[in-house]
A and B are shown apart, each in its own frame.
Chain A
Amino acid sequence: MSEVLRAFLGYLLLDKNQQFADQVDFLVQLYRDHFLELKSMNRKPEDWVIDNIMYVDYWKNSSWFSIEDAIDALKDEFLFYGSSPNFRSDWRWYKTLSGSDRNLFNSFSRKQYLENVHNLIDYRYVFPSREINENLKILSKAKILRKNIANYIDSPNSNVLTHLIQTLHDLANEIDKFSEQTSNCLRCYIQSLEYFFNNQEIPDLGGFKKWWGRGNQIVTFLKK
């Protein structure tokens, strides 16, 4: 979510008439302080902004592929084996997990993913697992947000913008339930976005700078 928000704002602020290299420079400067938060970032900031902001299809149109999607796609032939970050615990006796019950590894992992998906929002914190229904609300709002963003890019008008800002507020309220620090970052972003639309000036992103998600999850599946 934090990366989509960065991409959207970067896209809005970008002068599309500039040369490619100048656009890259602009975005690198804009997010320079943000990258400082990522101590182990491998890529050059230039590569990151090219891949994650200027390549608009990446964040506007891709359908993503969550751990839940991966389990659903592969469950007939594979068992979810492990992941980084590792969110799964399993107190069952291994002897009860033989035979057809092996398939429970997938449903069990899927359930734990959904109970913990809120922990992917902000890499700075780890929270206790939550009710799946609560997390599904966030997932659903996050989906709507991306749709709102895509709609605004395709047809920028005040009606779509109102929806978009409202969705951001809804998300901040949901996130508030488990992480006030993260929802404050999101509110900083909302203020910055409104400032930009009102003044057409580059906003100061304040506390948003520190917020990054656990964007990538790397998973292993074992073929049955």
Chain B
Amino acid sequence: MTLNSFINFYQKYDVVPVVDALSDDLIKKREALFYHLGLVPSFVKDRSVIEFGPGNGIHALYTQSLNPSKHVLVDGNLKSVNNSKENFKKYYPNDRNYDVVHCLIEEYPVSELADLIICEGVIPHQKNPSKLAKIAGQHIKKGGLFIFTCHDYISTFSETLRAFLGYLLTQNIESFEQKVSFLSEYFKDHFKVLKCMDRKPSDWVIDNIINENCWKSTKWFSIKDAIQALKNDFYLYRSSPSFITDWSWYKDLDGDNLEYFNERSEKAYEENIHNFLDFRFTHKARSQYENLKLLNLAKQIKLLITKYTKDNNDTIKVIVDLLQQFAQNVSSFSLETSKSILSYSNALIAYTKNKKIPDLQEFKDWWGRGNQIVSFLKIK
């Protein structure tokens, strides 16, 4: 098995930084997610399911409770595999319809096709997300549903900025444990606004800041990228958050509607990209042109941040200039978000001047709609 950088990181520190306990609350959250994704829970009964990258298998326990005919969990991290096995043994000691396989997605053999594939939090962090999405999609039957996560430069923008600052502040801390402890404390107030955060803050900082691959090297995998990757065989069915409306008469949609559905979704995505920037607000759709400008700025900033972490060159000033341009664009639809960005920009300037730990003020409450979870229906 060829390990990828993520699995390398997890195995190096012997961590699975995802949810680690099943609760009634978590079950209800899964129900709510399935609702957004157009998946009727009772329709999972007697259907086959594969979950790629299930972490500790906690989310998969909910799927198991729906009585699938066959349920396979595939993970490249041995600790995840062992934790999943333990959790399934604990919660479903008599069930024989599941299997936990230690294997990379790319290496899992295409044999029996599944009705439902779930692949959360895995694809956008890969070197070639489109390729991996296509590989995972090969395991689905015609008419089956493919659920996975998407991120883009806008939705992850606030998190990229957090990660960059976290990186700067811990550059001189050697120990992994000390880094975790410092960052968990530093961002403590930020987590308070996320009322429904499932993960422990320490797991979040490990996965999103200390695991630099997560924010430095990834190209992300936006909803548009996903449509482009899968459009020959799938169409975007639903998403969480849900932003696609369709006023067409279903009777007009006979024949090959694949192209129509995907084009409609791509347009809706581009008109709403700005709504992924700040989870506190929802704004009216706006022109694709304006949103693509915003997306491009976010991408430039991320690339400059990555460049800075590689050669520590003098790009901070350029980053600050671009952040101010970004804030200017954002002020046309959200003054509050714009203030949060400027607050970060000022903190960055102050830190580079005096190397003191900055107070992030209005930035603390700003989080994006970082994860979009999508369902694609296979129709070919």
List A residues at the B interface (Cβ < 8 Å).
Answer: 39-42, 79, 81-82, 84-99, 102, 105, 119, 123, 126, 128, 214, 218, 222
Contact = CB atoms under 8 A, between A and B. Distances in A.
Nearest to B24: A99
19 contacts: A40-B254, A85-B247, A86-B247, A88-B242, A89-B242, A89-B245, A90-B241, A91-B242, A91-B275, A94-B32, A94-B33, A96-B196, A98-B25, A98-B31, A99-B25, A102-B28, A102-B31, A218-B250, A222-B40
B369 A87 contact: no
Interface string B13-37: 0000000000001001101110110
B246 A85 contact: yes
A91 B268 CA distance: 13
B90 interface: no
A128 B240 CA distance: 21
Contacts of A90: 36, 241-242
Contacts of B38: 82
A94 B240 contact: yes
Nearest to B197: A95
A13 to B, nearest CB: 28
B241 A93 contact: yes
Contacts of A126: 247
Nearest to A100: B28
B244 A89 contact: yes
Given A84-B246, A89-B243, A94-B29, 19 more contacts: A40-B254, A81-B40, A82-B38, A85-B245, A85-B247, A86-B244, A86-B246, A91-B369, A92-B241, A93-B196, A93-B241, A94-B32, A94-B241, A94-B373, A96-B195, A98-B25, A102-B31, A214-B249, A222-B40
A87 B28 contact: no
A109 to B, nearest CB: 11
Nearest to A120: B247
Interface of B: 25, 28-29, 31-33, 35-36, 38, 40, 195-198, 240-252, 254, 275, 279, 282, 284, 369, 373
Contacts of A88: 242, 245
A89 to B, nearest CB: 5
Nearest to B268: A89
Nearest to B198: A95
A99 B245 contact: no
A126 B267 CA distance: 15
B266 to A, nearest CB: 16
Nearest to A220: B40
A84 B261 CA distance: 14
B28 A98 contact: yes
B154 to A, nearest CB: 14
B286 to A, nearest CB: 12
A81 B35 contact: yes
Contact of B249 (A85, A87, A102, A128): A85
A218 B32 CA distance: 22
B252 A98 contact: no
B250 to A, nearest CB: 5
B321 to A, nearest CB: 31
A86 B36 CA distance: 13
A39 B252 contact: yes
A41 B252 CA distance: 9
Contacts of A89: 241-245
A123 B248 CA distance: 8
Contacts of B369: 91, 93
Contacts of A218: 250
Contacts of A119: 247
Contact of A91 (B241, B245, B248, B373): B241
A97 B32 contact: yes
Contact of B279 (A87, A93, A123, A128): A93
A119 B35 CA distance: 25
Contacts of B282: 91
Nearest to B246: A86
